[in-house]
Structure 1
Amino acid sequence: MSATTHRHHERRISPVFLAIAAVMGVTGWAVWTDFAASTGLAVFLFVTSAWIVSLCLHEYAHARTALHSGDITVGAKGYLTLNPLAYTHAVLSVVLPVLFVIMGGIGLPGGAVFIERDRVRGRWKHSLISAAGPLANVLFAVACTAPFWLGALDGVPVAFRYALAFLAFLQVTAALLNSLPVPGLDGYGVIEPWLSYRFKRQIEPYAPYGFFVVIALLFVPAINGAFFDGVDALMRALGVPELARYCGSNLFRFWESAPEICAV
């Protein structure tokens, strides 16, 4: 196998990702056309598959930026195929975020691809690799909210509008949480190259716990309230009414009784 063919194989889109994207497309069509017997189930499958797609794009953004920054090993690890099963921590990257969406309706940052940082030269490149993931979530949120801030909602079915609003909410929460300067999250990865060696050595033992500390802090009422107030403010700035996000969340949790205000 030639080097060119080998590199092409490393970047071939995974059938696993294509299957997930197909589920997103089919269920999105079902929500749009009201084809499914249960609109709530269709919204659940559409949002869940779209959320997994966004997680794959998040990790791909890290890997692709690392590739162009000097780490040529990311291809051999399968990170450029968009295969969620290829991640270093598949449970943290996919399973746990999906479970939190189902249980609590919040977009959590996932795990990470393993980047060989010693191959990357320059602090700006290291920062950009870490920033690439949250930026992918931001772009996904912009795409989901485009019909709202462009005023292009005419003809968009109500259920699909609600689903987009909830999906955008997940992207915004994930981007904000992952941008926090907490060890173990991408926000810390952005500033880490600019910190002193001594400080980084002191912080290093606590890095594996940063993710769980953030989750625990979200259960503190004052912090929880401040965080979601900020999320709601961003959603309003993107033209998404709080009611649309609320009803999207209700449709997503189709096993619960939906209020009359969210009837579709």
Structure 2
Amino acid sequence: MEFSFVSLALWAVPVILAITLHEAAHGYVARMFGDPTAHEAGRITLNPLRHVDPIGTLLVPGGILAVNALTGTQFPPFGWAKPVPVNFGRLRHPKQDMLWVAAAGPGSNFVQALVWGFAASAVLHSGGNGTVAQIVYVMAQAGIIVNIALALLNLVPVPPLDGGRILVSLLPVRQAIAVSRIEPYGFPILIALLYFGVLDRVLWPMIPFFRRIITLLTGA
């Protein structure tokens, strides 16, 4: 149980930051393209309490970490926050601008993975081996993994995930309308993909690939 608690504590900061900045990025870019809905709702903020979903932000990733600690598995933690409200009809060019609003979330996670990579690299090259250095290094490694996992999960091309919205933005109008009709069933589809192991075989093997890219760019 001690290992589970320590793991949860070290992963908590990068998980909360990853989800908070992901959602705030959606709102910020939406405002840039003409939709102030998230701003009006007070959701363009770094205050995690405005974005926390009790189940998606706390229970699910915490449960995954606890199971990993107790069973020795290494399933990448993931979660979700309360979706930032975006009124695509208020965007200056709704179909085209939807792409940038949707891509902002995963984009913020890839940037965070890089930042955590530089943090891990700084610890390595500083020669520090004390308790604080070890904590920062482990947390940075967690930040790299959780941000890559969150970005890849959100890029699954199923609405309402960001990848689905990007797909809708890129498709011709007729096909875009057809894909957008999947949105009410998006999360059940995602749960089914997780349950039947489709994401295990397709998505999670991509994490080491992107991890190596972060290593090459940062030296972490």
TM-score by length of 2: 0.75
1:98 counterpart residue number: 61
Q: 1:229 to 1:50 in 2, by over 3 A?
A: closer
The Cα RMSD (Å) is: 3.1
1:184 counterpart residue number: 160
Deviation at residue 142 of structure 1 after TM alignment: 0.7
Q: Distance in 2 between matches of 1:67 and 1:100?
A: 34
Say whether the 8 Å CA contact 2:27–2:84 is kept in structure 1.
yes
Q: 1:126 to 1:222 in 2, by over 3 A?
A: closer
1:193 aligns with 2:157: no
2:46 counterpart residue number: 82
1:234 counterpart residue number: 210
Q: 1:145 to 1:188 in 2, by over 3 A?
A: same
1:154 aligns with 2:98: no
- Of structures 1 and 2, the larger Rg is shown by 1
In structure 2, the gaps of 5 or more residues are 68-74
- Paired residue for 1:59, among 13, 23, 26? 23
Say whether the 8 Å CA contact 1:65–1:129 is kept in structure 2.
yes
Deviation at residue 84 of structure 1 after TM alignment: 4.1
Question: The residue matched to 1:231 in structure 2 has which SS?
Answer: helix
Deviation at residue 138 of structure 1 after TM alignment: 0.7
Give every structure 1 segment of 4 or more consecutive aligned residues whose post-TM-superposition deviation is greater than 6 Å: none
The percentage of counterpart residues that share the same residue type is: 24
Say whether the 8 Å CA contact 1:58–1:137 is kept in structure 2.
yes
1:107 aligns with 2:78: yes
Q: Distance in 2 between matches of 1:179 and 1:110?
A: 16
Q: Distance in 2 between matches of 1:218 and 1:55?
A: 20
Say whether the 8 Å CA contact 2:120–2:136 is kept in structure 1.
no
1:129 counterpart residue number: 101
Moved more, 168-177 or 66-75: 66-75
Amino acid aligned to 2:32: H
Amino acid aligned to 1:189: R
Deviation at residue 109 of structure 1 after TM alignment: 4.7
In structure 1, the gaps of 5 or more residues are 1-37, 245-264
Q: Distance in 1 between matches of 2:58 and 2:135?
A: 26
TM-score by length of 1: 0.64
Deviation per residue, 1:145-195 (Å, 9 max, x gap) = 124567636215344323321221111011011112111110121231233
Q: Distance in 1 between matches of 2:14 and 2:57?
A: 12
